[in-house]
A and B are shown apart, each in its own frame.
Chain A
Amino acid sequence: MTAHPFALLHRIREKENTSAPALVSLLEETFAGMSDFAKRPIGTIGSQPVFLCYLTSLVSSQRLSFAVEWEELTELSTRVDRYTGPPFAEGSRELCVDAICGGAAILCLEGTSAGLILDISDTQHRNVASPVTENVLQGPLYAFNEDLQTNFALIRQRIRSAKLKIWETKIGTASRTRTAICYYEGAVDIECLANVQAMLKNIVVDGLQDTGQLLRLLVAKKKMRLFPLAVSSERPDRAVAELLKGKLILLVDGSPFALILPAVYTDFWHSPEDLYVNVYVSYFLNALRFLAMFINLFLPAFYVALTSVNIDVNRLEISLAAAASREGVPYPVFIETFLMLIVIDFITEAGIRLPKTISSTVTMVGGVVLGQAIIQANIVSNLLVIIVAATAITNFIVIDYQMGLVQRVLKYFIAAGATIAGLLGIVFCFTCLVFYLSCLESFGTPYLTSLMRKKGTPSP
């Protein structure tokens, strides 16, 4: 049972070393120049005044009321009795400074070098809301938010088992961001877990803001890391499904995204919805996504190859139609294609960054008006506008945002290959891509793990 706070304060006074500097003045010195630092006298013990020190921006005014919303004549012990929260802890200067920075208040007697830490912190975060980047029509409709405790709760509510373990550390010399690894005991790869724990402990950085930044820090030593090596998800149901498969979930306080690792290439193409629809429909949707990936990567490159380098590969009728559509276009095919691909990327980027009310207008102006005008001005062929539109649409089918960004970059690479060597250039670039992917490993797991699931592993 925890000792009464009043008794603890008495004990601190009795064992006090008089030569040690007073905590109150040390805290004042440490937090000098901080307008939200408060030192409030809340009573006396004997002749010594008792202070409550805290940062007004981090504490909950409701939980602080035990100390401030009383008449001055009220006994201190009565006030302290009204405190509700985690048990008191005694702390020296370093602990007290850390605690104040974390949102706690320090109860200390004037002249003593130690104080009592009262956790009355109040973190600001959103309520649990619908996912923004992983919408589904069938399945749970809530997402993680920026509060780590809430995120733990969302996971725990879906795995009510003692096998769900949470390991926590703090990252960032300044931010001291709480970072956690969730794993399911018995399913997790112990070697992978130990590696990731060691990697997290070795991260040296001033501040950690998001799981995306954490992933960058984790794979910082690997060169040429174009592809994401972990799935980023804001859906608790997806995180839990992956946990049960033996994967690790990394959560960062202040980030609404969970990192799922290790991740293989095919993981980025599965939607959380795949688990909730008919299995054959799920296979069809997966096939559709892969088809979209190939169209997105290769369609502009095929246009360049078949209209400028390997004209004889196509049927004569198609080649003539393509040539007719380019009549009057003054640029070579590859310049025309690269120009349009860049324009469509501008529009996409503008649509994402602008407020929702304006973005639809920009998309309309960019897509329809600009497209029509650019054809009429004979800057590009109308066939290319169709191709670029199809390329842009297929890019939005990519489930994972980071993988979608990689696809957007890679289509230029393959189009460049087509410009140099036509069809062979496309095949060469694709083969190089396969070679590159085959060399990648995500936290010890080959990125190109078989498409087919091994017997005994959970079904998709």
Chain B
Amino acid sequence: MRIGKSLSGYEQFALQFLFFGASAGFVYPSLLINSTKGAYWFPLATWAIAALLSCWLYSCLLARLQGRELVGMLNDSLGRLGSGLLLAPVFLFIAGSLTVMLRAYSELITMTMLPTTPLMFLNGMIVAAGALAWAGALPIARAAKVLMLFGAIFSLALMIAGISECKWSLGGPWLRTNGDFFGNKHFYAGSFIWMGFVFTALTGKYTPESSRRYRKSYTAAIAVGALWSAGFIYLPVLTFGPELSRRLTFPYVSKMDSIYHYWIVFENMTAIFISVTMFYVLLVMAMKLHALGESVKSLFPAFKSSWIYVVLSVLFYAAASAIPSWRDLEHQVFNSIGLRMYTMFVFPALGLGSLLHKRKRMEKRSA
């Protein structure tokens, strides 16, 4: 029986890979292209390094859990109020990111494939994610391995199909940068694609060994994800040029629209891309819901798991349906930059500090 065991390195890699697939193909290329006039790989590499730093912080925090869950441990060391305050921005970030992901994907479907289907109906896809989230972390990990297999094959095939129409001269400057992206809000807004490891940190029990595995697998996933994201950014730039790409809301989706080969049976590659993205989106939504649901369960053990997931699914369905327009969704991406920075760097540092403080206090008391 594997119930109760922690995720393997490959499963964590698959989850992070799917996280990139779910979020890097839509708004992200536009954000990154608009963040700099220099080489695009600089901001990309900068975020990859920042993500590695955040991942390292989380792994240091997880190594001190001694076989316990993060939220439960924080609850014990800081009390319910203290841990609640520390975790509130993280919960807010997860809730926001889940709502944005659901609504953004539904919007994209209505924009490209099913223009007459109501958004309220499409948002209902959260039911499948909610059911998987309720089933637990191991079913999520198993599903992730299968979906990564299918998703990666299709996504890679689409990328390869798109390469033939690229003009390499349009990708320049390849090396020059003046660091202008550091002062651009688009650069910070694009942070959401690098945070897959946060969700698994909030669920499951960790030991020093499993936290080492966590760091290794996410380091590998971030390296692969950076290359993957580079594909999402450079393919439209090499096809349309930087100027036109800057004006496009979904550069990669537009790139998919431009693919034409006489030997490809399908004509509308956008439909294929959007359909394949569903593999990623549903699983990542399940992962986010599970992280939130398990955290709530750790803080309020008396609550029944099934009800937590039902209530969360209904809440996010309502929230995603309540967003008035696409522009409001874009604002949400920019408005939550602070929450994301807190979740990536401040929360693990504070958590680490609180656990170290508790340990010192215990040592003093025992001395």
Contacts and interface: CB of A to CB of B under 8 A. Distances in A.
Given A312-B268, A313-B266, A315-B267, A423 B146 contact: no
Contacts of A444: 1
Contacts of A309: 114
A310 B147 contact: no
A444 B268 CA distance: 44
B143 interface: yes
Contacts of B272: 313, 423
Contact of B266 (A315, A428, A432): A315
Nearest to A443: B1
Contacts of A450: 145
B185 interface: no
Contacts of B299: none
A274 B267 CA distance: 39
A435 B143 contact: yes
B276 interface: yes
A312 B142 contact: no
Interface string A400-429: 000000000000000000000111101110
Interface string B123-137: 001001001100100
B271 interface: yes
Contact of B143 (A315, A421, A448): A448
B138 A313 contact: no
B142 A448 contact: yes
Contacts of A428: 125, 128, 278, 282
A440 to B, nearest CB: 9
B266 A438 contact: no
Nearest to B279: A431
A400 B150 CA distance: 24
Q: How large is the interface on B (under 10, 10 to 19, 20 to 34, 35 or more residues)?
A: 20 to 34
Interface residues of A, number: 29
Contacts of B131: 435
A332 to B, nearest CB: 16
Interface string A318-348: 1000000000000000000000000000000
A314 B269 CA distance: 10
Given A313-B268, A316-B267, A435-B128, A427 B143 contact: no
B343 to A, nearest CB: 27
Contacts of A451: 149
Interface string B154-184: 0000000000000000000000000000000
A446 interface: yes
Given A421-B117, A431-B278, A314 B266 contact: yes
Contacts of B146: 434, 437-438, 448
A424 B278 contact: yes
A72 interface: no
B132 A438 contact: yes
B128 A431 contact: yes
Given A310-B268, A428-B128, A446-B142, A439 B135 contact: yes
Q: Looking at A191, A313, A315, which has the most chain B CB atoms within 10 Å of its CB?
A: A313
29 contacts: A191-B1, A309-B114, A313-B266, A313-B272, A314-B267, A315-B265, A316-B267, A421-B114, A422-B113, A423-B113, A423-B272, A424-B275, A426-B275, A427-B275, A428-B282, A434-B146, A435-B128, A435-B135, A435-B143, A435-B286, A437-B146, A438-B132, A438-B139, A438-B142, A439-B139, A441-B1, A446-B138, A446-B142, A451-B149
Interface of B: 1-2, 109, 113-114, 117, 125, 128, 131-132, 135, 138-140, 142-143, 145-147, 149, 265-268, 271-272, 274-276, 278-279, 282-283, 286
